[in-house]
Chain A
Amino acid sequence: MAAAVQEPVAPTFRDIDRSVLRVMEMPGLAYWIWVGFCFVLVGIGAALWTRQIYEGLGVTGLRQPVMWAMYITNFVFWVGIAHSGTLISAILFLFRTRWRTAVYRAAETMTLFAVATAGLFPMIHLGRVWNLYWLLPYPNERYLQPNFRSPLVWDAFAVSTYLTISALFLFMGLIPDVANAREHAIGWRRTFYATLALGWQGTDEQWRHFSMAYLLLAGLATPLVLSVHSVVSWDFAMAQLPGWHSTIFAPYFVAGAIFSGVAMVITLLVPMRRWLHIEDLLTPWHFDNLAKVVLLTSLVVTYSYSVETFMAWYSGDKIEQMTFYMRYFGPWGWLFWVMVLCNCLIPLLLFSPRIRVNLTALWIISLFVNVGMWTERFVIIAGSLATNFNPSQWAFFRPSITEIMITAGSFGWFLGLFSLFARFLPIVSMTELKEGIVWLRKSLRKDYSRAA
């Protein structure tokens, strides 16, 4: 006999505090083993990068003509992952979307650490990392300034602006929550939270300025989120390489970024909800809405793939057509079909309302999307370079252990930082959940009636 479903008790402000603050209690051994594992991966990646700096790029699989491959794929992948955080925290904030309150802090944290991870890859990709400052508005030894007509310089500006604004946005939202945490903490944690809270007391005067600053920051972050991945896409679209030189890259990349980012939010939130016991804050209703965003962006991405194919055919450009033929049926064609399976076909399951609230199924689908979106970037970047204008140059890329382990290290870096944040800072916004407590209660009742 199925167990009787317990009718939910309408949560109060105090219940929300209790649930979130409980997560911030001292974690157990399993948590530290996990964090240790993540940072061991970072250590291995760092050691291999050190070797790469010492030996040169020859230790990687980068050979002419494929001089952009896994590192740049990782860069684009992580910048893309970062996008859903700002979408959820800024764009949905402006639209006053109710379901964002429980998920936005985790999404925003993910954004910050994903941009911080992405920012490492242009450096790792540089053979001579000490010349990184050539991208910054600082003259080199011959007093030559960066070329502002280069998309790579736009990228340096866009990504560093995005990192700064994301960090400020996250920090601003944290202030009232850490002030609350300060009131319950003792010892070093109290000092830590009190320092971060900046003496916040929630006076009407503080809220008046806070609300305005937060609103304007959201207003500024909204076009920024659209611009950053557009700029990243122009790293490719501005080049004349077939497979890259496309006018649809900006919206196509932005949709892909939101697609992969929301999938990553689901990948992180489903286990987090269970391990941190925050089922009362993150309900299937929240996941249902996240799944709808994944489904919508999956359809946009599928449409983009079709339009790219159509344009290659309709243009009558033989080289463009050959590039796409090689993409689908060449030696790396299987990667393209993996990408289609993961990004276009599997997400169609989300048309089913049952699957959207089945968290195990949703989590598995989100993993497929993550794999599919990483593959998509690799297919576009390395695949297009491998089959360029000149067939005599065609060559294929084989990743070395350096690239594989640095990629694994980037996942360790991201997951380790996220895990540390999740246990030491409020990973769910108490303030916003309280503000939208009516909707949290409604969602719990809705889930109850569905389960009953």
Chain B
Amino acid sequence: MSAPVEIIGSFADESGCAGCVEKLRSAKPIAMRVFSPIPSHHIEHAIGKPKSPVRAFVLTGGILGVISALALTIGTSWEWNLVVGGKPIVSWPPFIVIIFELMVLFGGISAVLSFLFNARVPAFEIDARYSSRFSEDRFGVVVRCEEGDGTRFESILRDAGAEEVGREAA
């Protein structure tokens, strides 16, 4: 079996890159990753990965926020059974404000933490295939494949309109 190689192609436009990704995907490489200066639904759709699990983290965070607020408001009210202004010890309407705020707070913090966790950032090492232009104005596609398939993938990239195509040992 030949050693894997990585084919790197760069594109000037989003649609060319997305079209290429779709073709590469059907050619079944070992792995593929795309660098992009902007978030792109076309590319995301072409790659065909499932929706981010960040949703589940945010839902969990929001529920935890609600539970925490319930514990805080009801718990502290029960701890000191102090009637204020003739209102019930457990006064739902005012507590809903606290419950809502903590739900948003915990949900928001969960969104950021789960993004950091799932996207593997902070990343202390920059990907060797990353180029500064991928943060500026170019879209990059990196395909990992068997050395024997390299030419086939290179021609897919070229046919799709890649400006530059290179090959490096994986």
- Quick one: which of A14-29 are within 8 Å of B by CB? 14, 17
B40 at the interface (CB under 8 A from A): yes
Looking at A46-54, A126-134, A158-166, A342-350, the stretch in contact with chain B turns out to be: A158-166
Q: A123 — which chain B residues lie within 8 A by C-beta?
A: none
Instruction: Tell me the smallest distance from the CB of B53 to a CB of chain A, in Å.
Output: 8
- Quick one: which of B131-158 are within 8 Å of A by CB? 132, 134-137
- Quick one: which of B55-97 are within 8 Å of A by CB? 55, 58, 62, 72-73, 76-77, 79-80, 82, 84-85, 87, 91, 94-95, 97
Chain A residue at minimum C-beta to C-beta distance from B116: A198
- Quick one: which of A176-232 are within 8 Å of B by CB? 176, 179-180, 182-183, 198-213, 216-217, 220-221, 223-224, 227, 231
The reply to whether B44 and A209 form a contact with Cβ atoms under 8 Å apart is no
- Quick one: which of A128-161 are within 8 Å of B by CB? 137, 143-151, 153-154, 157-158, 161
Q: In the complex, which of the residues A148, A157, A209 contacts B77, with contact meaning CB atoms closer than 8 Å? A: A148
Q: Taking chain A's interface residues, is the majority helix, strand, or loop, or is none over half, making it mixed? A: helix
The reply to whether A13 and B79 form a contact with Cβ atoms under 8 Å apart is no
In whole angstroms, what is the CA distance A164 to B110 when docked? 12
In whole angstroms, what is the CA distance A412 to B47 when docked? 49
The reply to whether A137 and B52 form a contact with Cβ atoms under 8 Å apart is no
Q: In the complex, which of the residues B98, B118, B135 contacts A148, with contact meaning CB atoms closer than 8 Å? A: B98
The reply to whether A164 and B108 form a contact with Cβ atoms under 8 Å apart is yes
Instruction: Tell me the smallest distance from the CB of A431 to a CB of chain B, in Å.
Output: 6
- Quick one: which of B27-50 are within 8 Å of A by CB? 33-40, 43-44, 47, 49
Known A14-B136, A198-B121, A216-B55; judge A203-B80 contact (CB<8 A): no
Instruction: Tell me the smallest distance from the CB of B36 to a CB of chain A, in Å.
Output: 5
In whole angstroms, what is the CA distance A212 to B111 when docked? 8
The reply to whether A204 and B44 form a contact with Cβ atoms under 8 Å apart is yes
Q: A165 — which chain B residues lie within 8 A by C-beta?
A: 104-105, 108
The reply to whether A227 and B100 form a contact with Cβ atoms under 8 Å apart is yes
The size bracket of the interface on A is 35 or more
Known A154-B94, A165-B104, A216-B55; judge A13-B109 contact (CB<8 A): no
The reply to whether B123 and A201 form a contact with Cβ atoms under 8 Å apart is yes
The reply to whether B35 and A17 form a contact with Cβ atoms under 8 Å apart is no
B112 at the interface (CB under 8 A from A): yes
Count chain B CB atoms within 10 A of each CB in A12, A147, A209, A221 and give the residue with the most.
A209
A172 at the interface (CB under 8 A from B): yes
Q: A17 — which chain B residues lie within 8 A by C-beta?
A: 136-137
B169 at the interface (CB under 8 A from A): no
Known A176-B135, A209-B54; judge A201-B108 contact (CB<8 A): no
The reply to whether B119 and A144 form a contact with Cβ atoms under 8 Å apart is no
Known A201-B127, A203-B34, A435-B39; judge A217-B111 contact (CB<8 A): yes
A168 at the interface (CB under 8 A from B): yes
The reply to whether B38 and A209 form a contact with Cβ atoms under 8 Å apart is no
Chain B residue at minimum C-beta to C-beta distance from A204: B34
In whole angstroms, what is the CA distance A149 to B124 when docked? 47
A147-B84, A183-B136 known, 12 other contacts, Cβ within 8 Å: A14-B137, A148-B76, A161-B105, A165-B105, A169-B108, A180-B37, A198-B122, A199-B126, A201-B35, A213-B52, A221-B108, A431-B39
A-B contact pairs, 17 of them (CB 8 A): A137-B76, A148-B94, A154-B101, A157-B98, A172-B115, A201-B123, A202-B37, A205-B119, A208-B44, A212-B52, A212-B54, A212-B55, A216-B54, A220-B111, A224-B101, A434-B137, A435-B39
Interface residues of B (CB under 8 A from A): 33-40, 43-44, 47, 49, 51-52, 54-55, 58, 62, 72-73, 76-77, 79-80, 82, 84-85, 87, 91, 94-95, 97-98, 100-102, 104-105, 107-109, 111-112, 114-116, 118-127, 130, 132, 134-137
